[in-house]
Structure formats: structure tokens, C-alpha cells
Chains A and B, each alone.
Chain A
């Protein structure tokens, strides 16, 4: 990928309010926001960037069902099919007594599935060389990144636009994908 392709306009804000304004303005200009970086989850930003609602809950459901079915099936197999022992005169298939464990494993499955899905979807993996667009975004900076190479992109116009909406600094930067 050529440098041009990886070149971005990176605007830094001090305040989430201005950031959101900027996002709105930029998108109004028909420009695509590459990404926004912030020290915490900014409410209303999703709307401004019109991000789709996450589908992680599907993973949760799947994990839960898997845990439930697997545990119930195993308990039934062990206690009824494989070796039915007379325990306190109870019937081999004491389903009621099997429920607590099934429930716990349901929760376990759902929880782990959710987290696994989240990590993989966001490509969060142990890494030594994390390269945040700006070291301050995890502290107190709010950053908006625009890809330079896109239709209707005019550097000077964009810079002005950003400054108008309260950007502190606007730099052009190469971001490794």
C-alpha cells in the first residue's frame, strides 16, 4: 500500500462535545470518518457516526445454549445411561437435581463466548507494539481520523472545517492499518 493510501488527517480535540460536532460536520460534507479515538465511551457518538448495533448478543445466546445442552446431556448420560446407581432411592433421571449445574454451565458458556467474540471481533490480542494514533487518546485526548485519499477530499477545506469545530491541532499522519 502506498504512503498516500495510508495517509490520514488526524484532528485532536480536548472535548467530546466538539468532537461530535466535528464528526457530524465532516460527514455532512460527505466525507467518511475513518475512526474516532477517545479515552472513554462517548455517548451519542455511535449515532453521530451511525455505527451499526453490535451483534455480540448472538454469540452470548449460542454459548449459553451450548453450555445448557452440553451439561444436561452429560448429566443425563452419566447418571442414567452410562452407570445408573441407586442414590438415596431417587430416580436415575433426577432432572430437578441436574438443573443447578446446567444453569451454571449455561452462564459460563454464555459469558466466555461473549468475551471471545468481542476480543476476536475487535482484534484485541496480546501485542508488544500497540500503535495508538495518539498516545493521549487513552488519557485525555479525543481524536478524529480521516483518510486523505477519498473523493471530495480537499485538505485545506477539511482542515478549516476541523478547526472551525474546535480542533486543537490538525496533522496529517501515516497510520498502519
Chain B
């Protein structure tokens, strides 16, 4: 009792305190109420002062231009919204790329908004005006007029730029233009010149080949012109469904091309020559050529060689042999074989060669000597980064010190620019005029799609300026086209007409272009006998030099990063490698046997030593990898690429060897050693590669297909009464026989749908956000671990008619549309993740954090500049909501609307999803099932059509066409 009383008495303040507690509560309530009712920040709407003619806010404009992502120079169409390029698509007018693109090309639009780009010219590390820097440079050039002036570039495929360089050599007597390619083809180039007297590398036509044999040439992934070759390969495969077509691949590492071959054979990286010789021997025998060939003892699969050689011979004139080696003798042998087979002029075109990869390794080595000798007074580097991608990068940097003036045109302060006196940042190609001739006779134009973002200047304009001419590359290109190309055609009668059409189409084909067959292009046997002897000799030397415990090293390019010039592009860094599914960094690929010998597993750190050069890399154990060969990807380990690309992986260029004046990407003197206890977990998006015998990727042999089995699947009965659908029934079919897994679609989707980049840590946690992924299943033959059965399967939301995800969402955040789309409504989602759990295909992606505008995820949407790439028609998802493939519903809406606006029927094929548009193999078809004549409806009726996990009765609207295997690939999964 007393207690109770005191409880009141002893605290006179109790009441008051309670009261102002209440008032405080009241206040906060009121405040929050006010806050919630107030309309937040007032939004301003600022119209144009004078609206540009061609621009309406909210309406997209398309411009034709040319990709500068690599030397293949694919023609592009660029989508701009309100003056900003936001999406890159292939230009269907192009006879080469045929409207396809690669992941790199898709990602270049993001590089435009790279905040690490230089915003203006720099002189000795200080910002400076263009006038000032021009003055200083012209002074020094004048001083150096009689002395060595060198322009060091990568391959220039632009005729106008080539003409401009010619002007320079006219002006400066001692001017030299040296070009090299980070990944060199100079041996192939030299061999072609020696054999056929052509300058350039042959232009290959896989679409005309019935038998394809590749020796370590990843022509579907990174070799020369992957987009074009993928298109050809897929086209040939499509035709082959009704006949015989076979692709053999001999390779040391597992490449994208090898994964897609009908028959893949392992080999040691040093056996290029041996295999080429073996093929030559057998084919020569067929051809009745009797001269004996030197022997090399290499452990190569004679049966495989015999099979390949016989098929090559059977299909002579429509077969093709390509080799990725950078050794002149080997390439001579390859040319010899193609010549004997009569493929020259049929599938291997040397009259109208590819103008890619004109680099000359010897010239660069010579240049370094000249620089050291002091013969070079002005050095201009354009499109190359020798400090990074030359094997002797450090030597080059040292040599730069003895050059009076070094100028870099790099768009950022990269490894070379950092050591240059002057940096005159070039435009991004989407800001600049230009042209290209990647293959003799096929031209394309490049036009600016946006006014320069920064105070940059096209390299060509700088070069013009320093020649004392008006820095106007546009007129220069026009002039070149008037001079060179206008005359070659008779379709247009005024140049302006010609120019406008070319600019509109983006491409121009020289009508004179056409394949003059010289099937009988024989080459002097003495030449290839010499080459054969050289190969045998090298082989013996190498065999003698090989230490017992040493491994062979093979350096390769990855589909994502290629030679590393795009290392600062987060889309590419997070693009899973098609073969290993690893993102963010390189690693050392080991055969399982080698891993066992070293006692390492994937993720353990291995120290690799070549002479005194050492580097530590995580291991990746790869079935199919040659026993004694390890592979490392080039293009990583940049230290001046920018915030994203710096210190990702290890730079492997210093490991490149030299031989006979040519770079060599294979070497035999590598010692490996396990770094005990050290781990570098790889950021892989797929860690389990066996299909576990599950009927997910269905395969059919050519025989079965031709013999009409299996029958078309009867549709599964549904428990539910069929709901009546709407006007359309959208559906997609993916041809697993055409898909090579090149992953262009992944980046295209990322660009189109504002898919965030989450970084290596999140990928390690299994939280990548890609809406479309490419599942890669590999099963190894028990007897022979080089005979892989690799299957790629693009996997995105299957848009099930009876979707398991929809039933379980408590708040109706995912429901079915009347036209067959499984809709995800982000703003309704409360994030229970139940749908994700109940999705059999695991294609739903959850926003674990606030990715957009979050400093923790400083990749694509933090910097206001980067945000300019966002697609304004797709909402940027916030934290805590589920997202997934929408079948590019924004594109469907847009096309339906424009059809309505123009009062026409929505034609089949008008709507192209982002993945479909980018696909160089045309493996993806989208359309309306309600129209029985539509392509997709036709494919759905095909005997090869199936849907994944159909036994679950989810009735997906996304279907697949079975893979067709050809040849005795009996060792199939399950």
C-alpha cells in the first residue's frame, strides 16, 4: 500500500513528464501526417527554347554508325532518346554482321558515359586549352620536321584515317606509321602475303563450308570477326539440318568454338604444327602428292586427324581449315591445305581480304630500338596502350623517355597516356565522324549520335589541325568518299544523294565486289616443304627444352574483355564468361589431372613462374583442358583503366613470348606451384556444370531428325479450364542448335532493361541480376575427357501460362497479362521472395539492396553521367522488390502503338526483343501465337520444339528447339 502511495507521491513530475511525452507523440504524429501529405519537392518542367526539328521529347531517334569496339567494325544502329544514346543495335543492312552484335559492341554505349574519361587535353599532367596545346605541339612538330615522327596505332580500318595518315607521310619525310594489334595476327598476315601476295588476312566464309576444321581458332568467340563468323556458322548449321555439316575443333583450352563443335579434340598447345602437318600429310596423300614430309613425334589423335582430313577432302572446295597460331610456318601449311583442297576463293577469300589485324609485331620491336637510339622525336599513340598490352611494356615506357614529345590520344589517363607529355583525348566513337572498311569492298559510315560530352576532339581532327588544315573530319570523310567511292557506283547521280543514302543506311557495298574464284590457287610445294621442315625443327627444339615438371601456357582472349581496352566497362566485367561462367577477373585454367597433381581445387591460388616473372592466380579446374596445358586470359590486370577496371585480375601480356618477330601466345616453360592456404574465390554465376542426366536441354541426332523421330510432343493436359486470351499471345522460341552461347543477349538485355551491376562480392553470393543467363552444361566422356558435350541454353523467365510464381504472391504483384506475359509489378511487390522459391527455372532476381545511386555499388547508376544510359521507358527498380524478364514489354507496347498510330496491322517480326535483336546467330524468335502464320507459331509446331520441365504443367510461352548433334557423339549426357 505504502509502496503504491509513494509511487504517486514521490514523483511530482510524473504527470508533467507524461503530459509532454504525450504532446511530443502528438507533435510527431502531426509532423509525420504533414510530411506525408506535403507534395514533396516541386517538379519543374523546362521546355526547349527552340525545339530542334528532328527531336521530340519522349520519341526515340535512330542513327546508323559503326562500332569501334574491335577491328571488326560492325555497322550499328544507335537508339537515342532526348539526345542521349541509350542502346546499340546491329545494322541489318550489313552483309557482314547482318544485324548482329557482340557483348562488347552492346556495352560500348556505357563507355560513352564513363566518368573516368578525360574531360579535356592535358600537358604534363596539367589541364590545358586546345589552342595552347596545339600551339606547343605544332611548334615541336615543326622542329621535328626533318626528324623521326611516328604514329603508333592499332589496326586502322578507316579509309579516311588511312588517307589522312598518307597526308602526314607526304608532309613529314621521316614520318612513320607503325601499327600493331594487342593480340597479333602478324604471322597469318605474313603467311598470306608469302603464299598469295595479298596484304591482309583472308576473309573466311564459314557459311559456304560443309566441313569446318579449327585448330585453336576461337572464331565464334574472339577470333577476327566473331559476329560475322557466328552468323555464317549458324546459317550453315540451319541449312545443315537437311544435310551433312560437320565442325571439328582441335584445341588445348576449352573455347566457345570448341564447345559448339560437332567433334572436339584435345591437344597440347604446342601441337598446332604437328596437327597441321598430319592433316597435310593425309590430304596430300588423297591428292596424290608424293613428296615426303618431315615427321614430328607428338601425341596426337591419329583417328581424329584421319576423320577430319577425310571429311575435308570429301568436301574439298567447300571445306575450310583455320588455325589460331601466330606462327608463319604453321599458317603456311594451313594455307597449303586450303589450297590443295581448292578452298581458296571458295571459302577462303584472298582477293578481297579482311583488312582487320594489319599489325606488324616486328615493326613495333624496331620502333622501340629506334626510340632508344633517339631517332624518334615525336611519338603519337592512337588506339593502342603499349605500356599495358606490349609484352615489353616497361621497356616501351623507358624508351618513351628518350622521345622529345610523346602524344597520346587516349580517352583516359591510361597506362601509356600517364607517361605521355601531351594527352589529346579522342572522342568516343558515338561522338565522332568516321568510316570503316573491315573487309575489302564493304564500307560503313560512322556519325555522331550526341554532341561531345566533354572538351574532347577526334584524333583525326587533331591530326588535321597539326597539319595546319581545318580540323573538320566530317568534310574530310566526305571528300574521301567523293574521291574514292562515289565513282564506284552508278545508283545515285549526285554525290549528296549518294552520301545521304550511305549515311542513312550506314553501309556501302562496292558493286565491283564479288568472289572471283581461283579454285586452282596452288602454291609452290617448296614453300610448304620449307615450312614443314621449320615446324619439325621447332618441335624438336621445344621437346628438348621442355623440363619434366613444366607446363605449357596458352594465353587467350575472353569474349567479354578481349584485349582489355574495355576493362572499365562494368557490363563487360560482370558478363559471365560463356565457357567458365566466371565474372570479374582472370584465373589459371587447369585440367582436372593437373589440378590433382598440384592438389588444388577451383579457387585455390596457384603461383605461376616463367623465368623470373611470377604471378598468383586462382585456379579454375576445367574438364576438357589439355593435360599439360594451362590457360590464362589476357585483358585483365589494368591499373589505369578507371574505378571499375583497375586491379581486376592479373595482366598476362608480359607472359606473351616472341618468336621470329611474331608474338607467341603459347609457351612451354611454365612452372606451377600451389600457394598453400591461399584462396581467391571466383565470382561465378554457375558453379555446377553437369546436367545430372536431367531432360532439360533436349538433343536429337541428325539421323533421328531426318528419320522423323521423335514425334511432336502432345501438349500436356491442364487441370484448369483454358482462360480466354486477348488479342495477342506473345511467345518466344530459342534455337539451341543455332545458339553459340556468345552472351551478346545478356549485355543487350542489361542495356535495354536497366539491369544493375552488383559487383564481384554479390556475384560470389549468387546475386547477379541478369534477366537472361546462358546456362552451360558440360558432360565429359568417361574414357576421353577432351570429348566434351557442351550445351548452352539461354534461360530467362519462361512466361508460363500456368505460372507457379503467380499463385503464391500474396499481393498480386505478379499476375498474367491477357496476351500471355507473366507480369512483375515492381511497385506492388513487398518482397516475400515466395515467387522466386516457387519458380522451377530460378529466373527471378531480387533487389537485395538499393543498387541504384548507392555508393556501395558504384558501377552504373551512381554517377549522374552514368545514369544517362538508363532507358527512360523502363523503371529503375528499388530495393526489396523482385524483377525478371518482361519479354521487353516496353518494346511490345511501343510497336503496338506505332502500328496504331500509322493505322496498320502489327506485322509479324516487327517486335524484336533486345536479346533477339542482338543475337548474331538469329537463334531467338519472338512473335504472336494467335497468328498461325507467324514465324514463332511455325517453330512451335516444329518437331524440334520443346519446353523446359513441361511435365510440371507450367506451360511456358518460351520454347526451345532441340540441339541437333552430328557425328558419332555417342557419349551424350544421361
A and B touch in the complex (CB under 8 A): yes
Chain A contacts to B: CB under 8 angstroms: 85-91
| Contact between chains at B803 and A85 (CB < 8 Å) | no
Note all chain B residues with C-beta closer than 8 A to A89. Answer: 718, 720, 723, 800-803, 806, 816, 955
Note all chain B residues with C-beta closer than 8 A to A85. Answer: 812, 815-816
Nearest CB in chain B: distance from A3 CB, A? 32
| Contact between chains at A91 and B806 (CB < 8 Å) | no
| Contact between chains at B721 and A86 (CB < 8 Å) | no
Note all chain B residues with C-beta closer than 8 A to A87. Answer: 806-807, 812, 815-816
Knowing that A87-B816, A88-B805 touch, tell me 7 more A-B residue pairs with CB under 8 angstroms.
Answer: A86-B815, A86-B818, A88-B807, A89-B718, A89-B723, A89-B802, A90-B807
Query: C-beta contact mask, B709-735 vs A, less than 8 Å → 1, else 0?
Result: 000000000101101000000000000
| Contact between chains at A91 and B720 (CB < 8 Å) | yes
Nearest CB in chain A: distance from B241 CB, A? 34
Q: Across the two chains, which residue of chain B brings its CB closest to A84?
A: B723
Chain B interface bracket (under 10, 10 to 19, 20 to 34, 35 or more): 10 to 19
**B797-817: which residues lie under 8 A (CB-CB) from chain A?**
800-807, 812, 815-817
Q: Across the two chains, which residue of chain A brings its CB closest to B726?
A: A86
Nearest CB in chain B: distance from A88 CB, A? 4
Note all chain A residues with C-beta closer than 8 A to B803. Answer: 88-89
| Chain B at the A interface: SS class | loop
Q: Across the two chains, which residue of chain A brings its CB closest to B816?
A: A86
Note all chain B residues with C-beta closer than 8 A to A86. Answer: 723, 806, 815-818
| Contact between chains at B816 and A88 (CB < 8 Å) | yes
What is the bound-complex CA distance between A89 and B955, given in angstroms?
10
Query: C-beta contact mask, B646-664 vs A, less than 8 Å → 1, else 0?
Result: 0000000000000000000
Nearest CB in chain B: distance from A77 CB, A? 15
Nearest CB in chain B: distance from A105 CB, A? 16
Note all chain A residues with C-beta closer than 8 A to B817. Answer: 86
| Contact between chains at A88 and B806 (CB < 8 Å) | yes
| Chain A at the B interface: SS class | loop
| Contact between chains at B802 and A88 (CB < 8 Å) | yes
Q: Across the two chains, which residue of chain B brings its CB closest to A97?
A: B807
What is the bound-complex CA distance between A90 and B807, given in angstroms?
8
Note all chain A residues with C-beta closer than 8 A to B718. Answer: 89
* CB pairs A–B below 8 angstroms (11 shown): A86-B723, A86-B815, A88-B803, A89-B720, A89-B723, A89-B800, A89-B801, A89-B803, A90-B807, A91-B720, A91-B721
Nearest CB in chain B: distance from A92 CB, A? 9
Note all chain A residues with C-beta closer than 8 A to B818. Answer: 86
What is the bound-complex CA distance between A88 and B800, given in angstroms?
8
Nearest CB in chain B: distance from A176 CB, A? 25
Query: C-beta contact mask, B557-584 vs A, less than 8 Å → 1, else 0?
Result: 0000000000000000000000000000
Nearest CB in chain A: distance from B886 CB, A? 16
What is the bound-complex CA distance between A86 and B718, given in angstroms?
15
Q: Across the two chains, which residue of chain A brings its CB closest to B822?
A: A88
Q: Across the two chains, which residue of chain A brings its CB closest to B723?
A: A86
Nearest CB in chain B: distance from A152 CB, A? 46
Nearest CB in chain A: distance from B722 CB, A? 8
What is the bound-complex CA distance between A90 and B720, given in angstroms?
6
Specify which of A86, A87, A88 lies most central, judged by the most chain B CB atoms within 10 Å of its CB.
Answer: A88
Query: C-beta contact mask, B945-974 vs A, less than 8 Å → 1, else 0?
Result: 000000000010000000000000000000
Q: Across the two chains, which residue of chain A brings its CB closest to B803?
A: A88
Note all chain A residues with C-beta closer than 8 A to B723. Answer: 86, 89, 91
What is the bound-complex CA distance between A103 and B95, given in angstroms?
67
What is the bound-complex CA distance between A88 and B801, given in angstroms?
7
Note all chain A residues with C-beta closer than 8 A to B812. Answer: 85, 87
Nearest 6 interchain pairs by C-beta: A89-B802, A88-B807, A88-B806, A86-B816, A85-B815, A87-B806
Note all chain A residues with C-beta closer than 8 A to B802. Answer: 88-90
Q: Across the two chains, which residue of chain B brings its CB closest to A87?
A: B806
Note all chain B residues with C-beta closer than 8 A to A88. Answer: 800, 802-807, 816
Specify which of B802, B804, B955 lies most central, judged by the most chain A CB atoms within 10 Å of its CB.
Answer: B802
Nearest CB in chain B: distance from A138 CB, A? 20
Q: Across the two chains, which residue of chain B brings its CB closest to A89?
A: B802
What is the bound-complex CA distance between A89 and B952, given in angstroms?
14
What is the bound-complex CA distance between A91 and B724, given in angstroms?
11
Q: Across the two chains, which residue of chain B brings its CB closest to A85?
A: B815
Nearest CB in chain B: distance from A50 CB, A? 44
What is the bound-complex CA distance between A146 and B325, given in angstroms?
116
What is the bound-complex CA distance between A86 and B817, given in angstroms?
7
What is the bound-complex CA distance between A35 and B840, given in angstroms?
68
Nearest CB in chain A: distance from B821 CB, A? 10
What is the bound-complex CA distance between A90 and B718, given in angstroms?
10
What is the bound-complex CA distance between A88 and B577, given in angstroms?
35
What is the bound-complex CA distance between A88 and B818, given in angstroms?
12
Q: Across the two chains, which residue of chain A brings its CB closest to B725?
A: A86
Note all chain B residues with C-beta closer than 8 A to A90. Answer: 720, 802, 807
What is the bound-complex CA distance between A88 and B723, given in angstroms?
11
What is the bound-complex CA distance between A89 and B806, given in angstroms?
9
What is the bound-complex CA distance between A91 and B807, given in angstroms?
11
Q: Across the two chains, which residue of chain B brings its CB closest to A86?
A: B816
Note all chain A residues with C-beta closer than 8 A to B805. Answer: 88
What is the bound-complex CA distance between A90 and B721, given in angstroms?
8
**B808-837: which residues lie under 8 A (CB-CB) from chain A?**
812, 815-818
Q: Across the two chains, which residue of chain A brings its CB closest to B722?
A: A89
Q: Across the two chains, which residue of chain B brings its CB closest to A90?
A: B720
Nearest CB in chain B: distance from A91 CB, A? 6
Query: C-beta contact mask, B777-802 vs A, less than 8 Å → 1, else 0?
Result: 00000000000000000000000111
Nearest CB in chain B: distance from A86 CB, A? 4
Note all chain A residues with C-beta closer than 8 A to B721. Answer: 91
Nearest CB in chain A: distance from B840 CB, A? 13
What is the bound-complex CA distance between A98 and B198, given in angstroms?
78
Note all chain A residues with C-beta closer than 8 A to B806. Answer: 86-89
Nearest CB in chain A: distance from B935 CB, A? 25
What is the bound-complex CA distance between A86 and B720, given in angstroms?
12
What is the bound-complex CA distance between A90 and B808, given in angstroms?
12
What is the bound-complex CA distance between A127 and B955, given in angstroms?
64
Nearest CB in chain A: distance from B903 CB, A? 30
